[in-house]
Structure 1
Amino acid sequence: MTQPSGAQPPEYPSSSTSPPTYLTAGPAPVPPQYPSASAQPSSPGPVYPGPTPGVPPQYAAGPATPPEGHPHHISTDRRRAYLGAHQRGVDATAVGSLLLYVPNFLCSLLVIGLVSLIFGGLGLLVVLAWLISGLLVFHRPTESAIARHFLHLRYPTAQERQRLEPVWREVTARAGVDARTYELWVEDSDDLNAVAAAGHIVGVTRFAMNELPNGELAAVMAHELGHHVGGHTWSSLLGYWYALPGRIAWRVFRGIGRALFKVSKSFSCFGVGFFLLVFGSVALTTISTLYGLPLLILVLPYALAAVSRRAELRADQHAAGLGFAPMLAGVLDKLHRSDQQRTAAAQALNRGVPVKESPLSRLLSSHPDHYTRLHHLQPYLQPCAPQQPPQQPPR
């Protein structure tokens, strides 16, 4: 093909010509930086955390994958929590517990009144101080002292908090309760157990924290939260506190009676008869003066145990109502198998003879038996029947 006249041929770079430059001179390009999980974004927008050595990746959305496909694993991803208008309440079992402690309270008031006579004109202040002391049940430092010295609990470590707090947030979110209202504690025990005490204490054992799937751990925590929401914990502790002076006086009186009985035995039958006459006269005078109130104290332990069993069933229903019924049934099954192992060990120590529980000990039990608790969970464990479409009337 011929070239037209006057046209200049295109110029091509020769070998001596430097190649075209695409990057300006300067420092080497810096690779893009991705913020870590702890970095805060400088501008609004989604932040995708990069991998951190030794820390599993965290995902902001999407359900968590159950470990090993465990059926009782639940997702504990953060979500919006709607707090209920009423954070606590007082159910029938809490009211019943307070009413049952009234005789003990009156006996304790009598004991404190007798002790206050020693202080003369300041005796009324002693009685008022004892009445006001019940408010210590809701005093946080007092609760911490109770948890440490009486319940043998401790604060969880940072690693244990990473295990407990997501589960606790899920439980309180479902219940509509502010999670910061309560304090999480740990008991160094290899038993499967948990405790709710005073006004703000929720404790779990180390075994429950480390060995249970998070769904079953949530069921245990939801059960203990049910005790707090229903008012079971503070009412029982308040009743126990106000009954304490009467119980101490009863133990002192019983100890003196046993000592006098041993002394009277050394004076043969006459001494025993004289002791019974004097002791019986004092007891009859006390009962008649207090209108038979001390006789009710003999029945109160059985009534309080019955109320405590009812409170356990209420707490089970609270956990089941939050969606933890299958997980709670799994926990009850573990507890039942543990009880069977203890029974077998006790039978082996008794040379193979079964150790039977007396009827009175069953009446004094604070927890219902395994089958009773499972029976009350059945309405929550039954799958919902599919709704049938309405049938058309025949034409």
Structure 2
Amino acid sequence: MNAHVRQESESAGPVLVARRTTFFVLIGDLVVSLPSIVLSGWLIWALSAQVGDWLVVIAALVWPVSGACVLLVGVLVAGATAQANRSASPEHAEVDDAWAAVAVVARIDGSRYTPWVYDLVSVNGEAYGYATAGRHVVVTRHAFDVLTRGELQAVLAHELGHHLLGQMWLRRLIKWYRSPADLLFKLAVEVVSRVALLVQIGPRWIAHRLYRGPRPVILLGVLVVAIVPTAAVLGSGWALLAVSTRFLGLPTTLVVVVVLVAQPFARARLSQWQEYGADRVAVELGYGQDLRGVLRRQQADWDATPAENRLLAPLIHTHPSPENRRRAVEALELQRHRATADDQPS
């Protein structure tokens, strides 16, 4: 008998833990995103007011319900994509079998979810699978090719954890209603980045020409290379701040800037916490050893990434490093074994 199936009687725990955690996940996502949601509503109203009062009325009626339409379209597209991939993928039968085994262990109705294979090497450059709002559980073709059956089930159990930890549709709605402010912030960052890239061309040419010159000239070149891009970035940032102040006022603009800058870091921490929570569900279902195998495979890809990306990962990355996740999984396994040993009759 499969070792995971033998642990069926112990599997109610992770489902209950996940349901208790769902409320805090959703509240955390809402609190972190609330400033962007409010700013997005204000942007929709302000832009509509520039056209006419009639558009303000239309926006006030359409914007609050637009999320439901976007969610419906997203679910339909995800379903159509799943159906197309399943019909074209001979591997989906094995994924179905692996998902059925996970569903038995988790004591859930597996038919309520649709597992399928996506023809990608990885998702976001790191993950072997993902979960969607349409109750889809997706693994990449690369994951299917390189993972053992137990590791494939561990990935599916992890994605099940995401479904249990938070309502995917509600998180999709939150993302939609904050999207105008997020787009504005990304546009501002892109403008500043482009300016910095353009103004670096001249100083780099100067530095290359003066590299073999006298030491005072080299020092002057270094100052030019350092100061000019910095001044350009600060200048473009100041220009964006001045334009924003014209419409929002200085106090409101400063608050908006601080909040928008802080939000990506807060969202990254929330996303990392969700990954640890999904790992916990997989461990409680008995897939800890297989999940560690998956994380060891991901660590090789992680080690190949630039060092500066790994340095900033704890602040801005949606996933913790595979090594940190592996250590957390080992700690959870140890706790689980101790709890099992304590429950054994003496």
Which residue is equivalent to 2:92? 161
Amino acid at match of 1:311: Q
Structure ID, larger Rg: 1
Distance (Å, rounded) in 2 between the aligned partners of 1:233 and 1:164: 21
- The alpha carbon displacement at 1:131 in A equals 1.5
Distance (Å, rounded) in 1 between the aligned partners of 2:85 and 2:121: 15
Distance (Å, rounded) in 2 between the aligned partners of 1:157 and 1:114: 47
Q: Is the 8 A contact 2:192 2:237 kept in 1?
A: no
Which residue is equivalent to 1:103? 35
Runs of 5+ unmatched residues, structure 2: 199-231
Which residue is equivalent to 1:230? 165
Distance (Å, rounded) in 2 between the aligned partners of 1:86 and 1:370: 23
Which residue is equivalent to 2:207? none
- The alpha carbon displacement at 1:212 in A equals 2.0
1:180 pairs with 2:111: yes
CA shift in 2, pair 1:156/1:100, >3 Å = farther
1:202 pairs with 2:134: no
Which residue is equivalent to 2:68? 135
Q: Is the 8 A contact 1:137 1:234 kept in 2?
A: no
Deviations 1:155-200 (A, max 9, x none): 3547323201121122122223322322223221344610112242
1:297 pairs with 2:229: no
Distance (Å, rounded) in 2 between the aligned partners of 1:275 and 1:189: 38
Superposition pairs of residues 20-35 of structure 1, within 5 angstroms: none
By percentage of residues, which structure has more helix? 2
Percentage of identical aligned residues: 25
Task: Pick from 50, 62, 77 the counterpart of residue 145 of structure 1.
Answer: 77
Q: Is the 8 A contact 2:161 2:278 kept in 1?
A: yes
- The alpha carbon displacement at 1:86 in A equals 11
Amino acid at match of 1:372: N
Q: Is the 8 A contact 2:131 2:138 kept in 1?
A: yes
Amino acid at match of 1:312: E
Superposition pairs of residues 337-348 of structure 1, within 5 angstroms: 337-340=300-303, 342-343=304-305
Q: Is the 8 A contact 2:288 2:333 kept in 1?
A: yes
TM-score, scaled relative to structure 2: 0.70
- The alpha carbon displacement at 1:258 in A equals 9.2
- The alpha carbon displacement at 1:379 in A equals 4.0
CA shift in 2, pair 1:307/1:147, >3 Å = farther
Which residue is equivalent to 1:371? 323
Question: What number of residue pairs does the alignment pair up?
Answer: 294
TM-score, scaled relative to structure 1: 0.62
Distance (Å, rounded) in 2 between the aligned partners of 1:361 and 1:332: 16
Which residue is equivalent to 2:47? 115
Distance (Å, rounded) in 2 between the aligned partners of 1:281 and 1:326: 55
1:220 pairs with 2:183: no
- The alpha carbon displacement at 1:376 in A equals 1.9
CA shift in 2, pair 1:208/1:163, >3 Å = same
Higher relative CO (Cα under 8 Å, sequence separation at least 6) belongs to 2
- The alpha carbon displacement at 1:110 in A equals 0.9
Q: Equivalent residue of 1:159, what SS?
A: coil
Amino acid at match of 2:160: L
Q: Equivalent residue of 2:116, what SS?
A: strand
